[in-house]
Amino acid sequence: MRGFLIALTFFTRLPLPSPKVEVTSEEFALSYRYYPLVGLVIGLILWLLAKGLSPFFPPLALGALLLVVELMLTGGLHLDGFMDSMDGLLSARSPERILEIMKDSRVGAHASMALAGLLLLKFSLLASLTPSQFAILLIMPMLSRWVFQIGIVAFPYARTQGLGKGIHDTTHWIPFLIAGAAVLGVSYLLAGFAGLITWGVCVIAVTLWASRISSLLGGLTGDLYGAIIELSEVVCLLAAFPLLR
97 contacts: CB under 8 Å, gap ≥ 6: 91
Mean pLDDT of the chain: 90
73 and 11 Cβ atoms separated by less than 8 Å: no
pLDDT of residue 170: 75
Taking CA atoms, 199 is separated from 75, 145, 179, in Å, by: 25, 12, 13
H-helix or E-strand containing 39?
Answer: helix 35-53
Tell me which of 156 and 32 has the higher pLDDT.
Answer: 156
Query: Is pLDDT larger for residue 192 or for residue 1?
Result: 192
Tell me what the mean pLDDT of segment 117-129 comes to: 96
Q: What angle do CA 7, 26, 140 make, to 5 degrees?
A: 25
| pLDDT tens digits along 81-102 | 999 999 999 988 898 999 999 8
Q: What's the pLDDT tens digit per position in 191-235? A: 999 999 999 999 999 999 999 999 999 999 989 999 999 999 999
Asked if 191 and 198 count as a contact pair (C-beta separation under 8 A), the reply is yes
144 Cβ contact partners less than 8 Å away, ≥ 6 residues apart: 39, 202, 228, 229, 230, 232, 233, 236
Per domain, the residue ranges of the chain are 35-244
Distance from the Cα of residue 22 to its chain's centroid: 26
Of 98, 94, 78, nearest in space to 144 by CA? 78
* Structural contact between residues 219 and 157, judged by C-beta atoms closer than 8 angstroms: yes
Compute the average pLDDT of residues 177-185. Answer: 96
User: Per residue in 134-173, pLDDT tens?
Assistant: 999 999 999 999 999 999 999 998 877 666 666 777 778 8
